[in-house]
């Protein structure tokens, strides 16, 4: 919304997914623009997002290893 007016924009499939995944129901949901198949199907995850996810996984594994060593598991 800009100055209280709804402004249509291209669907961001990642944002749409996150927003809808947080809803406990679809009751009362109103989309300002129609979600088209091409907005979702065939989209690819950006390379920087893939790299960030891989980095998070590496950090997670390092944290787990450090804790295991600390507790001598």
Tell me the per-residue pLDDT of 62-71, one tens digit each, with 9 for 90 and over. 999 999 988 8
Tokens 């709804």 locate to: 6
Question: Count of domains in the chain?
Answer: 2
Over the stretch 9-57, which tens digit does the pLDDT of each residue have? 666 777 777 888 888 888 888 877 777 777 777 777 788 889 999 999 9
Range of the domain at 62: 44-73
Distance CA 16, CA 39 (A): 10
Same domain for 50 and 35, yes or no, is no
Residue 33 near residue 8 (C-beta atoms within 8 A): yes
Same domain for 4 and 30, yes or no, is yes
Residue 43 near residue 17 (C-beta atoms within 8 A): no
Is the pTM value of this prediction over 0.85? no
Residues 6+ apart with CB under 8 A from 44: none
Residue 10 near residue 43 (C-beta atoms within 8 A): no
Same domain for 37 and 49, yes or no, is no
């Amino acid at each position: 919304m800009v100055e209280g007016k709804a402004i249509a924009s291209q669907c961001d499939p990642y944002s749409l997914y996150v927003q809808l995944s947080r809803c406990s129901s679809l009751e009362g949901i109103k989309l300002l623009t129609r979600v088209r198949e091409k907005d979702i199907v065939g989209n690819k995850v950006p390379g920087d997002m893939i790299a960030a996810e891989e980095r998070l996984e590496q950090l997670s594994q390092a944290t787990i290893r450090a804790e295991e060593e600390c507790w001598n598991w």
